[in-house]
Amino acid sequence: MNDLLTAAEYAAIAKMMSFPENAFINGSFRPATSGKTFETVNPATGEVLAKVAACDAADVDFAVAKAKEAFDDGRWHLQSPADRKAVLLGFAKLLEQNRHELAVLESLDSGKPIRECQTVDVPDTIHTIRWHAELIDKIYDNTAPVGSNALTLVVREPIGVVGCVLPWNFPLLMLAWKIGPALAAGCSVIVKPAEQTSLTTLRVAELAHEAGVPAGVFNVVTGSGKDVGEPIGLHNDVAMVSFTGSTATGRKFLRYAADSNLKRVVLECGGKNPAVVLDDAEDLDLVAEQVVNGAFWNMGENCSATSRLIVHESIKEELLERVGAYMREWKMGDPLDPENRVGALVSIAHFEKVKSYLDQANAEELSVMYGGETDKGIFVEPTVVADVGRDSRLFQEEIFGPILSVTTFNSLSEAISLANDTPYGLAASVYTGSLRKAIKLSRDIRAGTVTVNCFGEGDATTPFGGYKESGFGGRDKSIFAHDQYTELKTIWIDVSDRSVDETVR
């Protein structure tokens, strides 16, 4: 349900809100073993919202022990598929009943505009949980064609205890992309939210427990990457880590796996996503609208954000004029006001990083066509930088902020070469009136998702993840995500005449 409230109604919810502070382990909230806490702030105002448990390896050990206990005694995965489905559908219903509170909590903790939280993050989170719940009693296992002397069953079994390590940019949605398939498969999870945005994860775990997800199956351990993420990565009783975050941290999880139990690792990492606009694109208004949406939605703090506009030289000026016109609709300000589409960046540290790219544009004497200003040390105006060369840092590096670089081309092969000329390969968009060219670009661009004449990430039915340094080991979303949280087992049964004879004798 996408029902927006007024700014005054959201402010009233925010005023009444109480914030979860403790880790959630084995079905209840508990402080860090060390008693330590860290502050989580509303980035838009600097106000401290809560002092959250600063957990460490001792808490990870405890949570993993409880998750393993829950997995080993089968209190979740041995329930009938229909029963587990009913619990997860009840969980989705509880999320829906609390949708306004969750949207406000998400906005306060991350700086995201309430409009997005209420119309995208929360409903997509609920839909994801529901979609995977529905899958539970619809996936069949297989038999193999081995002849009449044997019966083979090729079955999926839940992999065990799964560590889900999350980023701060879509705290609720990334949580759902992990726990939806993991819980559906029957795993126990240890979730580590990003330290900037722990609050909605804690509340969601509480609601899951209320809906009937048994104690120990859904645990949340809050704290830093070093103190919580690393011990999860190195734990010998964690069978898999599903990670979303930067490529630099993703690499560390591969090392942790190598240094411990060879746990399965699935990484969803960064992106530097191109929108390629050919000179035969049919509707430049539509292209401009999609490019603006792709570049500035969620303040560009989006792994699949359009961060490079690669446009045919002959239509550059016309397109950029329209881009400028659409950008005027994107008001920046108080995230809790549903009129605003651009909120605060997630933290002062991240603001400084994004601002450094504005400084870089100046240092490279690039032309800032629109935007370029900052406000209150935490807001960054949607910005368009023209004539960016392929060697520029603005072209090559993931900025994760509302900065769009523009580069031109003169031939299809140049467009493809530009699109592929970064270490990333997460998403891309192409705009053309020619089906042949659309297919050629879709095939030649090395990215996990290519959208044609639109910007998007697909939906719950389509896999999402990256080529090259944008990902490793699998995909989020869709039935393919479900498979990642399972092991395949072959059961080979002798049914030859010989065995029948022996039984009869």
CB of 272 to ligand NAD, least distance (A): 9
x/- mask, ligand NAD, residues 170-189, rule CB under 6 A, reads x---x---------------
Q: Which residues pair with 386 in a beta bridge?
A: 367
Q: By CB under 6 A, which span of 110-118, 207-215, 221-229, 480-488 interacts with ligand NAD?
A: 221-229
Which of 163, 229, 338, 402 is close enough to bind ligand NAD by CB under 6 A? 229
Those residues with Cβ within 8 angstroms of residue 373's Cβ, 6 or more apart along the chain or in another chain:
381
Nearer to ligand NAD, 175 or 361 (CB): 175
Of the residues 84, 115, 130, 192, which one makes contact with ligand NAD according to CB under 6 A? 192
User: Which of 163, 181, 466, 474 lies at the binding interface for ligand NAD (CB under 6 A)?
Assistant: 466
The answer to whether 251 contacts ligand NAD (rule: CB under 6 A) is no
Please check whether residue 434 is in contact with residue 278, taking contact to mean a CB–CB distance below 8 angstroms: yes
Task: Map the footprint of ligand NAD across residues 302-341, applying CB under 6 A.
Answer: 303
Rule CB under 6 A: say whether 347 interacts with ligand NAD: no
Q: By the 8 A CB rule, do 281 and 452 touch?
A: no
Collapse the DSSP code of 45 into the 3-class scheme (helix H, G, I; strand E, B; otherwise coil) and give the result: coil
CA-angle at 222, arms to 218 and 223, nearest 5°: 150
Q: Which 3-state string (H, E, C) describes 279-331?
A: CCCCCHHHHHHHHHHHHHHHHHCCCCCEEEEEEEHHHHHHHHHHHHHHHCCCC
Is 26 among the residues that bind ligand NAD (CB under 6 A)?
no
Choice from 398, 405, 406, 460 touching ligand NAD (CB under 6 A): 398
Q: Does 249 bind ligand NAD (CB under 6 A)?
A: yes
Contacts of 251 (CB under 8 A, 6+ apart): none
Q: Residues touching ligand NAD: how many (CB under 6 A)? A: 31
Q: Which residues are within 8 A (CB) of 131 and not within 5 positions of it... i.e. 6 or more apart?
A: 180, 460, 461
The CB-nearest residue to ligand NAD is 229
CA 445 to chain centre: 22
55 is an interface residue for ligand NAD by CB under 6 A = no
Whether 303 sits among the annotated catalytic residues: the reply is yes
Strand residue runs (E) in 20-92: 23-25, 28-30, 37-41, 48-53
Query: Helix or strand or coil: residue 431?
Result: strand
Distance CA 68, CA 160 (A): 7
| Annotated active-site residue in 195, 206, 268, 301 | 268
**CB of 21 or CB of 230, closer to ligand NAD:** 230
Site string for ligand NAD, 271-290 (x = CB under 6 A): x-------------------
Q: Which is the catalytic residue, given 117, 164, 269, 303?
A: 303
Contact criterion met (CB below 8 Å) for 381 and 354: no
Nearer CB in complex with ligand NAD: 113/167: 167
Asked if residue 406 lies in contact with residue 252, where contact means CB atoms within 8 angstroms, the answer is: no
Q: Does the annotation count 268 as an active-site position?
A: yes
- Please give the residue ranges that form the binding site for ligand NAD (CB under 6 A): 165-170, 174, 192, 194-195, 224-226, 229-230, 233, 244-246, 249, 252, 268-271, 303, 398, 400, 426, 466, 476
Catalytic positions: 268, 303
